[in-house]
Amino acid sequence: KAGVTQTPRYLIKTRGQQVTLSCSPISGHRSVSWYQQTPGQGLQFLFEYFSETQRNKGNFPGRFSGRQFSNSRSEMNVSTLELGDSALYLCASSVGLAGGDSNEQFFGPGTRLTVL
Amino acid sequence: GDSVTQMEGPVTLSEEAFLTINCTYTATGYPSLFWYVQYPGEGLQLLLKATKADDKGSNKGFEATYRKETTSFHLEKGSVQVSDSAVYFCALASGGSYIPTFGRGTSLIVHP
């Protein structure tokens, strides 16, 4: 069974631009969560989508948004990029909503975003 | 709110040494506890988990016991290998929220 895939793996943008990242979950998984990983803040939860609906949201500004399609694939968009948005963005999928006793999250390799 | 505190790294060991990475947590209710590992250039992988007090999670020679009385979930391995070099994350998921809360991660470097 194929794992979680994320595209692109690396991205370089300049301040003020916008970016869209893509995540394809494991087949049969309906939940996709997004995380931002930085050396300073560690791993921070952005949002979770389940059956095309945002179910949970972390403490990030409205510049960060996402969506999920009917095939469970998800995209994350960041508008008006800032230098501080440089990070590794990780996507994770699970069968049901993240967490809990049985809904283990499987992570993709991440997209490394650099904002210049 | 929920939080996870891990010992700061890097932890540097020689091959075959004993490993302990401390993890303590604060949570409402009775959370599930996890250890994830991140190898260079890769995403996180679930290493082991425990869902109730006194449970012991184990995998690939790593172990951790859910200690409710000390709110801890320390990761141990009796004999580390160079291939264990990675960043280790402690995490919890509580019943009130299904969003896992991660610690800051502890880097482990194992020398031959």
Q: What are phi and psi of B61, to 5 degrees?
A: 90, -10
CB A71 within 8 A of CB A25: no
* pLDDT band of B20, cuts 50, 70, 90: very high
Q: Which residues of B touch A43 (CB under 8 A)?
A: 44, 89, 102, 105
Instruction: Give per-residue pLDDT as tens, A41-81.
Output: 889 999 999 999 998 899 999 999 999 999 999 999 999 99
CB A33 within 8 A of CB A48: yes
Instruction: Give per-residue pLDDT as tens, A94-114.
Output: 887 765 555 678 899 999 999
Among the listed ranges B25-29, B44-48, B75-79, B104-108, which one has the minimum average pLDDT value? B25-29
pLDDT at site B43: 87
Report how far apart, in Å, the C-alpha atoms of A16 and of each of A11, A21, A46, A48, B104 are.
Answer: 15, 16, 20, 25, 29
At residue A25, the 3 state secondary structure works out as coil
Instruction: Give per-residue pLDDT as tens, B23-48.
Output: 999 988 788 899 999 998 888 999 99
CB A36 within 8 A of CB A89: yes
Q: Which two tokens stand for residue A15?
A: 């301040």
**Percent of chain B scored above 70 by pLDDT?**
96
**Percent of chain A scored above 90 by pLDDT?**
78
CB pairs under 8 A between A and B: 56
Strand ranges inside chain A, DSSP E = 5-7, 10-13, 19-24, 31-38, 42-50, 53-57, 64-68, 74-78, 87-94, 106-107, 111-115
Give B93 to chain A, closest Cα distance, Å.
5
Q: What distance in Å separates the CA atoms of residue B57 and residue B105, rounded to the nearest whole number?
A: 19
The one-letter amino acid code at A27 reads S
Any chain B CB within 8 A of the CB of A85? no
Contact flag A58-B99 (C-beta cutoff 8 Å): yes
Residue A1 has pLDDT above 80, yes or no: no
Any chain B CB within 8 A of the CB of A27? no
pLDDT at site B93: 85
Mean pLDDT of A32-40: 92
Q: What distance in Å separates the CA atoms of residue B102 and residue B33, rounded to the nearest whole number?
A: 10
Q: What distance in Å separates the CA atoms of residue B95 and residue B34, rounded to the nearest whole number?
A: 14
CB proximity under 8 Å: B 31-60 to A: 32, 36, 41-46, 49, 51
Report DSSP state, residue A71.
T
Any chain B CB within 8 A of the CB of A103? yes
Q: Which helix (H) or strand (E) holds A69?
A: none
Pick from A100, A103, A108: CB nearest B43: A108
pLDDT at site B41: 82
pLDDT at site B96: 54
CB A20 within 8 A of CB A75: yes
CB B27 within 8 A of CB B112: no
Instruction: Give per-residue pLDDT as tens, A2-33.
Output: 799 999 999 999 999 999 999 999 999 999 99
